[in-house]
Amino acid sequence: MRGYGKSSYGEAFADVYDAWYPDVSDIDATVTLMGDLAGDGGRVLELGAGTGRLAIPMARSGLRVVGVDASAAMLEQLRRSDPTGLVEAVEGDMVADLPDGTFDAALVAYNTLFNLTADGEQQRCFDAVASRLRPGGAFVVEAFVPDEPFRDGDEVRVRSMTADQVVLSVEVYDAARQTAEGHFVELNHGAPVTLRPWSIRYATVPQLDAMAAAAGISLADRWGAADRTPFDGAERHVSVYRR
């Protein structure tokens, strides 16, 4: 999408993210899982930490959390919700700007890995995270399982509608490139149109496993959700790769 950059999603969604996506995944189960993987007081790296939906509860549980996000607007929301600074917030890229040091576990939640759309960028992310894990450390990847055959073409649908607001979703799919991009078009009575762009490049489960192997980490567990329900052809997966 022309003009779309690293921080575009965050800048467009920071003011509505917590209201639109309060229950996209199980926060309590994720906190428990990361605590089990990192150990008491373990050091955890979250990629694309956003508003702190997961980072703040993890930090409140006693984990030492470093959250990385490319969007200043998202991190501003995180700091407002975390005034005492339990989370170490880092503004930067999920590949090039990861902090130095060793982590007990890392997390990239709810499709966030797919925000890396450049050729080879997801592989470079796996490489960067693997290099920062302690021996035995875990990298947790949560993502959807793409439909096969992959979707192609475009679609317009209604996301929500009230008496004074309509939110449309305009989506374009490219099966050959494994990409999807679009806009949420927000129409409020008496107000200018608001555009909220998004863009992803998705990967299949075998493709993610191959990236992990190339980075020197291997699959230890895979579930259908963070509560460790079995992965049995589920629409989503939570995969744990260990160094």
Could you tell me the residue ranges of all domains in the chain? 8-145+203-242, 153-200
**pLDDT, tens digit (0-9, with 9 covering 90-100), for 49-60:** 999 999 999 999
**Angle of CA points 68, 49, 222, to nearest 5°:** 110
**pLDDT, tens digit (0-9, with 9 covering 90-100), for 125-177:** 999 999 999 999 999 999 999 999 999 999 999 999 999 999 999 999 999 99
Q: In the prediction, which pLDDT does 233 show?
A: 81
**pLDDT, tens digit (0-9, with 9 covering 90-100), for 21-42:** 998 999 999 999 999 999 999 9
Joined tokens for residue 64: 């030492």
Return d(Cα 69, Cα 51) in angstroms, integer.
9
**pLDDT, tens digit (0-9, with 9 covering 90-100), for 198-234:** 999 999 999 999 999 999 999 999 999 999 999 998 8
Q: In the prediction, which pLDDT does 210 show?
A: 98
- Are 39 and 65 within 8 A, CB to CB? no
Return d(Cα 222, Cα 230) in angstroms, integer.
8
**pLDDT, tens digit (0-9, with 9 covering 90-100), for 79-105:** 999 999 999 999 999 999 999 999 999
pTM attached to this predicted model: 0.96
**Angle of CA points 144, 145, 149, to nearest 5°:** 135
Name the residue among 56, 67, 64, 48 with its Cα closest to residue 28. 56
Which one-letter amino acid corresponds to residue 84? T
* Model confidence at 44: pLDDT above 90: yes
Return d(Cα 122, Cα 204) in angstroms, integer.
12
* Model confidence at 195: pLDDT above 90: yes
* 38: Cβ contacts below 8 Å, ≥ 6 apart: 44, 63, 103, 104, 105, 138
If pLDDT is split at 50, 70 and 90, which confidence band does 183 have? very high
Give the pairing type, strands 165-174 and 153-161: antiparallel
- Are 109 and 25 within 8 A, CB to CB? yes
Helices marked H in 107-204: 121-130
Q: Which residue(s) pair with 189 in the sheet? A: none
- Specify the fold of 153-200: N-terminal domain of TfIIb (2.20.25)
Q: What letters, b where the CB count within 10 A reaches 16 and e where it falls short, cover 80-98?
A: eebeeebbbbbbebbbeeb
- Are 128 and 120 within 8 A, CB to CB? no
- Specify the fold of 8-145+203-242: Rossmann fold (3.40.50)
Rg of the chain over Cα atoms, rounded to whole angstroms, equals 18
